[in-house]
Structure 1
Amino acid sequence: MDHIEIENWIPYKLATSAGQSQCHWLHTVGKQFTEPFFDETILKCRSANNRYYEFSSVSALEMTVSWAGGLKEVVPAAFIFHISRCGSTLVSQLLSTMEQNTVLSEVPFFDDILRLPFKEPNFTEAEINNLLVSAFKYYARETAGAVTLQKKDLFIKADSWHIFFYRQLRLLYPGVPFILLYRRPDEVFRSHSKLPGMQAVPGMIEPQLFGFKPEEIGHDSSIYLANVLTSYLQKYLEIAANDERCMLINYNEGPMEMIKRVASFSNITISAQALELMEQRSHYHSKKPGEHFRKEAMADIPAHLEKAMELYYILDKKRMAML
């Protein structure tokens, strides 16, 4: 087991079997990570794996750290946080149009690691950090390719609830830019009312992560979602007040202004040709690249969004003061 060949393999899922934490592995078959969400990349790789490999590849979780020991350390160009449905997917797709950039967008394995202590309380923060840093190594190695003469800038787009792991991530990467995207909560609310994300479904993400007590969860999904958005905006305000390496970006700035600010803050250069390609891509749906984007019509603001709207206006005032 000391000389396991792990080239082109990534850890992609955590599971528990007979009380033991296990890691499932996936061969990338040379696949470039370009899909809007990484679970789409996993589906494509798994389909290829089913053709080439008869058995699943599983290891003890601790081997994930052990085998990563010889891999190159990686420092992301930036972490992209968002409150959901606020342009982060389009920003990721625009960044991906540049060959020098790789965006890891909402990687399920990163989420598995961060939320592992909720399922396995015996894991310490130090152990979780080692797992996370090791995971970044595997994924960064695959994005660089087998042979490259050009440095790859790695952007990690987090899941929306990962903002509540801010302290943990900031301690790991004190100098890395943290980009905080947001949008009017009534618009986010309306989007989730049509197609709910995981955080919009009561209990699907551990409620205590949002600061909720069990008795506060209730069964009204609309009120629950409003409270989730309030928690996001409260956390954003807390971070913006104390972290000079964070940048607030409002969805209403528009895709091209957003991408220019991300590039400037992350210290990457966008050529005129790349900007032209981004401009063309920005007119299409972020999650469905073949469809033109259509803005939704405005509607009345629900009463239970009052607190979230209040925080939004405070946050936006803070953003404008930081420009």
Structure 2
Amino acid sequence: MEKMKHPLFNWIPIKLVENENEIYFEWIYLSDLTLTDPFFDDTIAKCRAHSYNSKRFKLVSTVENLIEWSNEIESVELKALIFHVSRCGSTMLSQSLASSDENVMISEAGIIDQILRSEAFDLQSKSVLLKAVISLLGQKRFSEQKNIILKLDAWSVFVASYLRKLFPKIPFALLYRNPAEVLRSHQKNSGMHMVPNIIPASVFDITQSELHELSLPQYRALVLEKYFKAFLYFYGKDNNVTLLNYNEGMKNVVEKFISFAKLQYSDEEIEIMLERLNSHSKNRNEVFCGDSYEGDAVLANLMNVNALHEKLNAVFVGDVV
């Protein structure tokens, strides 16, 4: 007899709502969709057309409900966390991993960032809640699924030490890239963390007085400095972390990540993941022909961030050896 599925099978929490004295979670029905889009929110946008999600009323739950239900639904095992500096191949890495049916690839889920930055919970409550949400996002919906891999937002590196306490045995990977290339990409099309005040400056340990003195290009360079400093700091204190360098080639990035995280795949699965590298990270129907901004001038002084990049490269060489 087939095991009866939980009433919330295929439902996942997607949003933390803090409304005056109320705290609750909004849920959405995934139907048969898998988390294979470049970003978590891309999949959620597709879900909204489903009849369950287009009703006038939304499914919501309390914190207590969510934690209770997370213990009732079967999930696959969390295997690795990916941190990155943005525009450094993280989407390509996550898309490569998502192409395997064995992986549940959670790529920059807003709900995780909301919980990490929320001030509504003490650390113990936040830790229980984060584990519950990750478990629900990684519920075992298909028989092939074995691994949860979590790619965080770039600024999550500033809470890497907290996440290490939460997941003491999980491999952490730090993906980075030549700073001029990262910043040229943001000059073309800025990410939200590279525009002042969308993400509070305090998240990056940037003061309001500093903020008022910086041009936009200088602000972007300073944010990148903060990322590189956080990478160097965390790598220096942690024993279960590796560096991944976009400039060594994405094939090397994928293979090193799989080896470091001790993930086991068939030759066929590996071939599928590497084949994904031939297409654009955000559109698998478009062939990737390289970045188109190599000749653009960087509009900020890169002396500090280049020095940090050189230190990371030196550490990376030792990490590979």
2:123 maps to 125
SS in 2 for 1:84: coil
**2:132 paired residue number:** 134
List gaps (5 residues or longer) in structure 1. none
Seen in structure 2, the aligned counterparts of structure 1 residues 51 and 168 have a Cα distance that, compared at 3 Å, is closer
Q: State the match for 1:307 in structure 2.
A: 304
Q: What TM-score, normalized by structure 1, do the two folds share?
A: 0.90
**8 Å Cα contact 2:9/2:73 also seen in 1:** no
Three-state SS of the structure 1 residue aligned to 2:280 is: coil
* Alignment counterpart, residue 16 of structure 1, candidates 12, 15, 18: 18
Q: Which residue of 2 aligns with 1:295?
A: 291
- Residue 316 in 1 paired to residue 304 in 2? no
Report the counterpart of residue 171 of structure 1 in structure 2: 165
| Deviation of 1:223 (Å) | 1.3
- Aligned to 1:78, the other structure's residue is in SS state strand
Q: Once the 2 structures are TM-superposed, how far is the Cα of residue 127 of structure 1 from its aligned partner?
A: 1.3
Q: 1:180 to 1:206 in 2, by over 3 A?
A: same
Contact 1:26 1:49 in 2 (8 A): no
Q: Post-superposition shift, 1:76?
A: 1.4
Matches within 5 A, 1:42-121: 42-49=44-51, 53-72=55-74, 75-117=77-119, 120=120
Q: Contact between 1:37 and 1:106, CA under 8 Å: does it hold in 2?
A: yes
**1:102 partner amino acid:** V
Counting only pairs closer than 5 Å after superposition, residues 264-303 of structure 1 correspond to structure 2 as 264-293=259-288, 294-296=290-292, 297-303=294-300
SS at match of 1:291: strand
Q: Deviations over 1:148-179 (max 9, x none)?
A: 2x451111011111111101110011111101
The answer to whether the aligner puts 1:242 opposite 2:237 as a matched pair is yes
Q: How far apart are the structure 2 equivalents of 1:5 and 1:262? A: 36
Deviation per residue, 1:206-234 (Å, 9 max, x gap): 21111111222226221111110000000
Count of paired positions: 312
Cα deviation digits, residues 79-138 of structure 1 (max 9, x gap): 011000101111111112222122110011111111112xx4xx2111111110110111
Residues 36 and 98 in structure 2, CA contact (< 8 A), matched pair in contact too:
yes
* Structure-2 separation of matches of 1:193 and 1:299: 9
Partner deviation per Cα, 1:171-195 (whole Å, 9 max, x = no partner): 0111111010000111111111111
Task: Tell me which residue corresponds to 1:155.
Answer: 149
User: How many Å separate the matches in 1 of 2:25 and 2:176?
Assistant: 33
CA distance in 1, matches of 2:106, 2:270: 21
1:40 alignment partner in structure 2: 42
Contact kept in structure 2, 1:76 and 1:153, CA below 8 Å: yes
Tell me if structure 1 keeps the 8 A contact 2:29–2:53: no
Name the CA shift for 1:247/1:227 in 2 (closer, same or farther; >3 Å). same
Identity %: 33
Are the equivalent residues in 2 in contact too, given 1:201–1:221 (CA < 8 A)? yes
Answering whether residue 190 of structure 2 is matched by residue 192 of structure 1, we say no
* Residue identity matched to 1:80: I
Residue number among 241, 248, 254 corresponding to 1:259 in the alignment: 254
AA aligned to 1:239 is F
Greater mean alpha carbon deviation, residues 273-282 or residues 150-159: 273-282
Are the aligned partners of 2:10 and 2:30 in contact in 1 as well (CA < 8 Å)? Answer: yes
Distance 1:176 1:14 in 2: 25
Moved more, 267-276 or 88-97: 267-276
Q: Shift of the alpha carbon at 1:240?
A: 1.2
1 CA distance for matches of 2:303 and 2:205? 19
**3-state SS of 1:25 partner:** strand
Structure 2: give runs of 5+ residues left out of the alignment: 1-5
- Normalising by structure 2, we get a TM-score of 0.91
Check 1:212–1:313 CA distance in 2 against 1; reply closer, same or farther (3 A cut): same
Question: 2:228 aligned with 1:229, yes or no?
Answer: no
- 1:12–1:109 CA contact under 8 A, matched in 2: yes
Letter of the aligned partner of 1:111 in structure 2?
D
Partners of 1:138 and 1:305 lie apart in 2 by: 42
Q: Which amino acid aligns with 2:127?
A: N
Instruction: Tell me if 1:207 matches 2:209.
Output: no
**CA separation of 1:72/1:50 partners in 2, compared to 1, >3 Å: closer, same or farther?**
closer
1:301, distance to aligned residue in structure 2 (A):
4.2
